[in-house]
């Protein structure tokens, strides 16, 4: 039996935080400010709302996983980087009791973090997320909100799959990717869409 917890890496935007609901209506504001995109507006990432059922889901998952943040931020919006950390402090605290205390990775290539192993939950394949689909390293990418089952709070959905995966991982001498595929054999959930075909928002293009 493997007593170590597996690792679960979480994207923030549109996976933990309801980002597009704020960015999409802000395109005109960005133009007024002379900015190319709404994600470049200073402070726009600071006061976003958590997605429904996020807090309950992470409370459950923290029993089975070591949780990490793996996110990116617009290169031309300096405040976005600090605002994301401030958001995490607000909702999860800033001490050793926090799920994410000193477990935050901000990068434009999430594929680099695969060396740590584990599962990445991310809403889109970009910035190296799809690279987590790696048989050799034993890592996996789950696409948040790919369908109604791949959401926090879904019955027999994402959280249940992740818990089942952790139990398989801890009782068998296999990597977390293999454990995920075994746990999904009886669920048949759609883990992600095509890795090279994702519809961006109009302002992202």
DSSP-derived secondary structure for 99-135: TTTT-EEE-S-GGGGGGG-SEEEESSSTTTTGGG-BT
Tokens standing for 177? 């990717």
Confirm if 130 and 109 have CB atoms less than 8 A apart: no
Judge residue 107's burial from the number of C-beta atoms within 10 Å of its C-beta, 0-12 exposed, 13-18 middle, 19 or more buried.
middle
DSSP-derived secondary structure for 35-64: -SSGGGSTTTTTTPPBPTTHHHHHHHHTTT
Active-site annotation holder among 11, 39, 83, 123:
11
Tokens standing for 22? 């704020």
Confirm if 148 and 154 have CB atoms less than 8 A apart: yes
Integer Cα distance of 44 and 101 in angstroms = 23
Respond yes or no: is residue 11 known to be catalytic: yes
Residue with structure tokens 């980087």?
81
129: Cβ–Cβ under 8 A, 6 or more apart, which residues? 11, 110, 111, 120, 122, 141
Q: Which residues are catalytic?
A: 11, 13
């Amino acid at each position: 039996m493997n007593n170590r917890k597996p690792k679960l890496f979480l994207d923030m935007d549109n996976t933990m935080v309801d980002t597009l609901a704020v960015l999409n209506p802000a395109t005109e504001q960005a133009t007024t400010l002379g900015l190319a995109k709404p994600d470049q507006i200073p402070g726009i990432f600071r006061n976003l709302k958590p997605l429904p059922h996020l807090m309950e889901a992470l409370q459950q998952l923290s029993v089975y996983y070591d949780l990490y943040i793996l996110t990116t931020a617009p290169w031309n919006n300096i405040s976005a980087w600090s605002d994301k950390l401030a958001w995490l402090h607000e909702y999860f605290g800033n001490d050793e009791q926090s799920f994410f205390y000193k477990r935050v990775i901000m990068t434009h290539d999430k594929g680099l973090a695969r060396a740590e192993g584990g599962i990445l939950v991310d809403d889109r394949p970009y910035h190296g997320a799809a690279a987590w689909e790696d048989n050799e390293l034993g890592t996996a990418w789950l696409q948040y909100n790919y369908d109604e089952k791949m959401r926090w709070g879904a019955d027999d959905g994402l959280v249940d799959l992740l818990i089942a995966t952790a139990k398989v991982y801890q009782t068998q001498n296999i990597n977390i990717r293999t454990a995920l595929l075994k746990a999904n054999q009886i669920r048949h959930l759609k883990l992600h869409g095509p890795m090279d075909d994702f519809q961006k928002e109009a302002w992202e293009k």
